[in-house]
Structure 1
């Protein structure tokens, strides 16, 4: 799914991306997006996350799936625990359908570990990071908390990368716990120092531009992840 969004952004660099969730779904806005078109953008991308948890919204969407499929714009539906007949309805009109299993924690229960975001980033796995980020949002974790975890991981990897190149004494001077340092050193091997400095610079820019009102924080964070 992350590849689909990244591909869309590459083909439509001036496109507008809209998100709707369970709490802010609007049938009128949905219909506008189906027929909407901009003078400055080729297409719109509309991401609907968990909207089908709302029974009225789900019924409305299913009634308009055929029209949605013929829209000039691109729609992405992210849903959990759909029943087989509901999945079949999406499959009938969707160009692509992706299914992801929610990983279980050590106790065998479906849960979320905030540090899995850091691990996905360190592994340089954009698709995994996208899935984990969406799971974090559904678990009620704010975009800012996700951002600070990513920023923290990038900083640790950069410090480890620079220290390793300077030698063991430099590594020993780092004020990072042994466990965190061992992971940072391992993950740092997946990046060049230039890449890590570039990522850290982007996080600084993202934060300040969103605070100044130049960009929406959630959208900017999503674009940052897709650009990795």
Structure 2
């Protein structure tokens, strides 16, 4: 009888363990959640042919239109176009580098230049405040579109290696004067233009 009792106990344990194993085999692993897909960025609208042709008329065939639309928030269509250097200066990254830039405005089907960046920063009234006195051969440009103020641009003259850094020159549309003007160092107040750079030099003597 003792042997029979032991066999019954071991048989019961075997059946319990077997049942647990079988019940475990019947369970399916929870399905893995699919990884969330990154939201697709809206495609950049193609540049209309009339804007591309106007940009070429201002800056030549090697022209890149960066942005277009109601840039000044004044109800008029404008575009910002630039020329880029063939290759960046030694030791500099190519990001944001330009040699020239133009903002043009559509006036009844005719495109008029309202701002230009080449060796200096200029508009129809003269040289923008804070523009360097010496000619600049290249700039680093950053820009953003503000829902209220419109297009905001920041120009930094390229400096030789080891030169002291220069704060970017801020430029945006001034609704009061109805033209693009530069801003003071705090980017709060608009600065008046200079009719000629010789005037600026004479003030520094």
| TM-score for both structures, normalised by structure 2 | 0.23
Greater RCO (CA < 8 Å, at least 6 residues apart): 1
Report the structure, 1 or 2, having the larger strand content.
Answer: 2
In our comparison, the structure showing a higher alpha carbon Rg is: 2
TM-score (structure 1 length as normaliser): 0.21
More helix by share: 1
